[in-house]
Structure 1
Amino acid sequence: MTPARAPSPGAVHVTAQGWGWRHAGRKAFAARRLDLDITPGERVLLLGASGAGKSTVLHGLAGVLGTQDEGEQEGELLLDGVRPTPAMGRAGLVLQDPETQVVLARVGDEVAFAAENLSVPRDEIWQRVDRALDDVGLELPLDHPTTALSGGQKQRLALAAVLAMEPGLLLLDEPTANLDPEGVVEVRDAVVRVLGRTGATLVVVEHRVAVWADVVDRVIVLDAGGGVLADGPPGTVLVQDSTRSRLAGAGVWIPGWRPAVGGAMPSSAPGPALLSARGLTVARTRRGPAAVESLEIEVGAGEALGITGPNGAGKSTAALTLGGLLRPRAGTLEAQPLLAGTAGSNPFRWRSPQLVQRIGTVFQEPEHQFLTTSVQDELEFGPRRVSDAVDDQRIAELAERLRLTHLLGANPFTLSGGEKRRLSVATMLATAPRLLILDEPTFGQDASTWAELVTLLRELIDDGVAVLSVTHDADFVDALGGATLHISGGAGRLVSR
């Protein structure tokens, strides 16, 4: 446990009395019966199963519920005795999806934006900008385009923009989920340094807790049914056997434990070739710099391949190119007859109905692939592009396996981050592709949904589906086995297991 410290005079006192929130159009409350008292300067790790309401609590504390999100509130949620409002600038929120938080074209302007809105003096703003970018390890020119950033770099940028506000309450929603291992520690340490300098109150949501357990004062675990499942110092909540067993039963990640998964460990020997890349050079844009050059890879049926590497190395760009969604800069990408069938050997030239039956790509940002206003319609969208007949049984089975059945009538954009990720996977599986490409597939998952996803993918691999996963989740890579393609410094290196 961290030593006692004196809070800053600007640190925020958080209280909740019977607080709850129900999103418009949803029958169930996202969070309910919440009673909290977080003292000024306290550092809190907020845990809970996927869909337990963690992000909703952070949005409530940031004052965006009822302004950006419509719904029904019950009880009270207060900052220093008054209702939260974003105009006060007392709370700074880093969203679960940093893509939705970036609004300006240049890195420096993005970090300065919120501080400018708080009327911070101009000279002080740019001092804060430089310090915040240095804190999060984003070593880029101030005029670097935000559109050229990777997902992990955007996560650092979003954090820097909030740190430059110097809020009295810092709210972080999965701030390290898309970061490489070095970046996780770097960002965690940056937050600790800023808290040491400002004395602000911290509420951070994470599923993987080990990285934060030693730097927080308190762990609060939300019960999926409402209220609080556990509350206390990390050394009590995360260590005592009685509490650990309750948390594990609820699907909450706890240090030193990994849930059991089903399905056979995939074979290390791939089947017949599906997709081949020879001298492949990939780039995000036609005129921009190459991300990865001279990539040599062959993907076989029933193969698991993990794609790893530091943030900004080009992993997502390579995945989108292998998925037929970006044109190769140079070299060849060839679908073999077992995958191509009658569609031709160039995936980039396939029409949408041909592509979704052969290669399913799950984007790093789930919202980028949602096209309808209900989970049910989203699951049926791909199959309807292929045929007028929809396999209702397959849709129902996918919804059940990925714990989406109770959400079939919900708008996809109102789901939690973990639920959005599972829906994005389910929509790609609905058309039964032979090759599945996943970008950060375990983002936002609790222990139970993580294990179910691994089990489902193992079964698909056993049935001959190839699974390529861009990920920083070492446990996930180990659980699927296979080979690893490590991308760094503009090159890819295949590592056999």
Structure 2
Amino acid sequence: MGVTVELRGWGWRHAGRKAWAVRGVDLVLQPGERVLLLGASGAGKSTLLAGIAGLLDPANSGEEEGELLLDGVPARRARRLATGLGSARTGLLLQDPYAQTVLERCGDDVAFGCENHRVPRSEIWARVDAALALVGFPYGRAHSTASLSGGERQRLALAGALALRPDLLLLDEPTAMLDPDGAELVRGSVAEVLAATGAGCLVVEHRVEPWLPSVDRVVVLDPGGGVLADGAPEAVFTAAAAELDASGVWTPGLAGDLAARLARGSGATPGPELIRAEALAVSPAVIMRKRRLSASIMRKRRIRSDRPDRRRPVLAGVDVSVSAGAATCLTGPNGTGKSTLALTLAGLLPPVAGRVVAAAGLARGLGEDPYRWRAPELAARVGTVFQDPRHQFVAATVRDELLVGPSRDPVRADELLDRLRLRHLARANPFTLSGGEQRRLSVATALATAPGLLVLDEPTFGQDARTWAELVAALLDLLDGGTGLLVATHDLELARVLSTRGAQVRLAAA
């Protein structure tokens, strides 16, 4: 097995964008190489993976320059030729696992790619079962994909890529939504597959240390175009240390250093309680609100949660509270109900049992149950950052996105563009941004309404070292200003910093 990838002055520009997503890349990947691809947020890492997978077509989605070849064949043609041969040249795990869920049952979802590549029917289910076991998937084939958490979907998507037995595995932040144990299991599974098949691997991750034992080469993309550094891991991190730091690339040990520096804050005394849950039981119910969910969320649409099963609680007997100027972090394994609990406290889901009580300082004349508030009233008091940032976008440009909602403050919008490094993207369509840029924009849309309570689900996903530190600093500034934070996260460094200003609540697996 194996495939040689050659990029000769290759670049790609998305339709409707003036700036190139990635440009001037000269790179050769040899068969069986295991490469860690790094770069600042927005440097074009995900675009490069999509190009190698043959998914970018200049006829309908953008502009291409240079050459991108797999064993001497253009990537798009190589992808078409492989379909129908019972195997795949590349297997791609997208940054957004929701985008790779296509069927209702988990087993069928993994089998989908095999069927499209004409894997013999007699082999398909053996491949499906083996792939699900490799990634430690906790459910059977018949389990509903609609009931999966984001991290569980990530494992399912990886199983789908592994079932194709590709010559080159392309992984875009494969552990970003996983708890530490799940992330270690996935890394071990990838290493096992590569050792058994001899396939190559190109992996994008912002946190580098856990992957270093599994790779033999590091390639760093320059946001300005081309390759900033390329070589053995130790050589790259030593010889190009200054350039990597200036570019915001995560390097070994940097996450702990940044967290320690940011944790040395003022440690201000929490203010009055904003909201609390009493004996709460929650279930990932369908979100169906006739009125707008939020002045800054979907318009004239119904939004459904991704897990519509209301028959049994996913979490029960919860007592938790958030105070002004304090942070409450929800941590724990995938599937324990962190996102569902956050949405319930944000007033977007009704509890199965128990109650959510908003204090007078947050309610400001309304009733105590946020779920019964009208959408404009809710949006003015509680800001929500969803796990999938695209669920929040309704405007045609980044700047207009920050002007949707009850505040509509142009000065505040411009401040947020500068603070979160989005100024150069002000006129871009939000859906054309990188995953990290979309995440920062989703946080900015919530900040623009100046809520008293901010509920965030994985707010640091996809960030480089520089944008991570700036985003965390912005959250600390909110705490200093009296805003209360409820944060669901697998980012242990983020939880470490915020826990110095509040509490950490770890949810246990059922």
- Does the pair score TM above 0.5? yes
Shift of the alpha carbon at 1:72? Answer: 0.6
Shift of the alpha carbon at 1:476? Answer: 0.9
Q: Distance in 1 between matches of 2:75 and 2:312?
A: 44
Shift of the alpha carbon at 1:44? Answer: 0.6
Is 2:243 aligned against 1:246? yes
Is 2:408 aligned against 1:409? no
Q: C-alpha offsets along residues 243-296 of structure 1, whole Å, 9 cap, x if unaligned?
A: 222211210000112365669725364210110111111000262321110111
Is 2:276 aligned against 1:256? no
Shift of the alpha carbon at 1:67? Answer: 7.0
Alignment match of 2:42 (pick from 37, 47, 51): 51
CA contact (8 A) 2:268 2:480 kept: no
Is 2:287 aligned against 1:288? no
Q: Distance in 2 between matches of 1:289 and 1:380?
A: 39
CA contact (8 A) 1:263 1:455 kept: no
1:484 corresponds in structure 2 to 504
Instruction: State the aligned residue count.
Output: 474
Shift of the alpha carbon at 1:475? Answer: 1.0
Shift of the alpha carbon at 1:169? Answer: 1.3
Q: Distance in 2 between matches of 1:266 and 1:63?
A: 50
1:198 corresponds in structure 2 to 197
Alignment match of 2:73 (pick from 82, 86, 100): 82
Q: 1:120 to 1:266 in 2, by over 3 A?
A: farther
Q: Structure 1: any 5+ residue segments left out of the alignment?
A: 1-7, 491-497
Q: Distance in 2 between matches of 1:371 and 1:233?
A: 44
Q: Distance in 2 between matches of 1:294 and 1:48?
A: 43
Letter aligned with residue 169 of structure 2: L
Residues 178-257 of structure 1 mapped to structure 2, 5 A cutoff = 178-238=177-237, 240=238, 242-257=239-254
CA contact (8 A) 1:275 1:334 kept: yes
Q: 1:67 to 1:143 in 2, by over 3 A?
A: farther
Letter aligned with residue 62 of structure 1: A
Q: Which runs of 4+ in 1 moved over 3 A?
A: 258-264
Q: C-alpha offsets along residues 382-418 of structure 1, whole Å, 9 cap, x if unaligned?
A: 2xxx26xx21110000111001111111111110010
Q: Distance in 2 between matches of 1:140 and 1:68?
A: 40
Q: Secondary structure at the match of 2:403?
A: helix
Q: C-alpha offsets along residues 329-361 of structure 1, whole Å, 9 cap, x if unaligned?
A: 010101111000022211001111111111111
Q: Distance in 1 between matches of 2:368 and 2:125?
A: 52
Q: Distance in 2 between matches of 1:376 and 1:182?
A: 39
Q: Distance in 1 between matches of 2:139 and 2:337?
A: 17
CA contact (8 A) 1:251 1:446 kept: yes
1:18 corresponds in structure 2 to 9
Residues 121-200 of structure 1 mapped to structure 2, 5 A cutoff = 121-200=120-199
1:4 corresponds in structure 2 to none
Alignment match of 1:423 (pick from 413, 435, 441): 441
Q: Distance in 2 between matches of 1:314 and 1:400?
A: 34
Q: Distance in 2 between matches of 1:475 and 1:152?
A: 18
Question: What TM-score, normalized to structure 2?
Answer: 0.91
Q: Secondary structure at the match of 1:380?
A: coil
1:277 corresponds in structure 2 to 277
CA contact (8 A) 1:30 1:56 kept: yes
1:73 corresponds in structure 2 to 64
Q: C-alpha offsets along residues 108-152 of structure 1, whole Å, 9 cap, x if unaligned?
A: 000111011111111211111010000000021110000100100
Is 2:453 aligned against 1:435? yes
2:348 corresponds in structure 1 to 325
Q: 1:425 to 1:111 in 2, by over 3 A?
A: same
Shift of the alpha carbon at 1:373? Answer: 2.0
2:288 corresponds in structure 1 to none
Q: Secondary structure at the match of 1:214?
A: helix
Work out the percentage of aligned pairs sharing the same amino acid: 56
CA contact (8 A) 2:321 2:328 kept: no
Letter aligned with residue 395 of structure 2: T
Q: Distance in 2 between matches of 1:60 and 1:287?
A: 41
CA contact (8 A) 2:386 2:456 kept: yes
Q: C-alpha offsets along residues 85-122 of structure 1, whole Å, 9 cap, x if unaligned?
A: 24333111100000011000000000111011111111
Q: Secondary structure at the match of 1:116?
A: helix
CA contact (8 A) 2:12 2:62 kept: yes
1:5 corresponds in structure 2 to none
Q: 1:211 to 1:331 in 2, by over 3 A?
A: same
Q: Structure 2: any 5+ residue segments left out of the alignment?
A: 83-87, 286-308
Q: Distance in 1 between matches of 2:111 and 2:125?
A: 7
Q: Secondary structure at the match of 2:507?
A: strand
1:97 corresponds in structure 2 to 96
Larger mean Cα displacement after TM superposition, 67-76 or 119-128:
67-76
Q: Distance in 1 between matches of 2:278 and 2:455?
A: 19
Question: What TM-score, normalized to structure 1?
Answer: 0.93
Q: Distance in 2 between matches of 1:327 and 1:268?
A: 32
Larger mean Cα displacement after TM superposition, 81-90 or 289-298:
81-90
RMSD: 1.5
Q: Distance in 1 between matches of 2:59 and 2:146?
A: 24
Larger mean Cα displacement after TM superposition, 28-37 or 347-356:
347-356
1:471 corresponds in structure 2 to 489
CA contact (8 A) 2:36 2:215 kept: yes
Letter aligned with residue 392 of structure 2: Q
